[in-house]
Amino acid sequence: MAQVFNFETISEYNDFNNHETLHPLVSIIDFSKAKPRTGSTMNFGLYCIFLKQVNCGDLKYGRNYYDYQEGTLVFVSPGQTIDVENKVDIYQPAGHGLVFHPDLIRGTSLAKGINDYNFFSYNTSEALHLSEKERQLVLDCFAKIEIELKQSIDKHSKKLIASNIELFFNYCERFYDRQFITRDNANKGIVEKFEELLNSYFSSEKPHVLGLPSVAYYASELNLSPNYFGDLIKKETGKSAQEYIQNKIIDTAKNKIFDSSKTINEVAYELGFKYPQHFTRFFKQHVGNTPNEYRSLN
């Protein structure tokens, strides 16, 4: 059975990787300094970004596996657990990492915007695959942060370190945008599958059983995290996944309303609305007419 490690402080993670603690709330890790080890389960109370340069086994987040290879960036946020599986033999870690405690960024602009960096909640088939040029940029960002860590801590330290981390995250956003483009064929396959799932949803019993379809439902069906799925659909179609679903609901509703043998209440229930008045409000908000008005006009 794999060992379980809990990392709540920077010093705990530094000790695990044979590093001196230069700052109590942040560290740059050179994994080649760590002692050889086997796969394990790690619980984090820290933000961690890993650029691994060795295959250390399959990374499992929740029930899903991370699309991890050598030279990819892996993002972990506080409260997440990473299982390193299928690595029972001893190996020497390699690569680099940025690890920081949530307290580091409190009161900074990064604290206000960190939830906007969706890649912290990406999990399956969603690792950031870097080109050699991008990899060097990541290492340069880590080096700048490490230089600051080696300075004496003063009133400027927190702001400068947080600013450099924010700059690094902004580069990561750019890299992910590039990845959405370079994986265009795979992404188009996901969009096509999404459309198939949308079409089949309303021709099945799912609206009666599950109600209205959600972004989380389709993300789960496609084995993607909701944030990655939403970002991918937005990049590919120009519309959010929620808009895409709402447009499908309206399109299906219009077709059903044309069937004059059905009451508006029946149409609402067939679409998955719990209450007909919610359907009426939703339809008018998107079409400009109530369902009854739309039926009369057409």
| Pure H helices in 36-156 | 109-113, 132-149
In tens, the pLDDT along 47-75 reads 999 987 755 545 544 444 444 455 688 88
Amino acid (1-letter code) at residue 163? S
Mean pLDDT is lowest, of 101-105, 181-185, 202-206, for 181-185
Mean pLDDT is lowest, of 69-78, 81-90, 284-293, for 81-90
In tens, the pLDDT along 159-181 reads 999 999 999 999 998 998 888 77
Q: What is the pLDDT of residue 63?
A: 43
Mean pLDDT is lowest, of 124-128, 251-255, 287-291, for 124-128
Count of alpha carbons within 13 angstroms of residue 297, beta-carbon side: 9
- Of the candidates 271, 238, 272, 248, which has an alpha carbon nearest to the alpha carbon of residue 198? 248
In terms of Cβ atoms closer than 10 Å to its own Cβ (0-12, 13-18, 19+), residue 121 is: middle
Statement: the pTM of the whole predicted model exceeds 0.85: no
Q: What is the pLDDT of residue 265?
A: 94
- Asked if 53 and 115 count as a contact pair (C-beta separation under 8 A), the reply is no
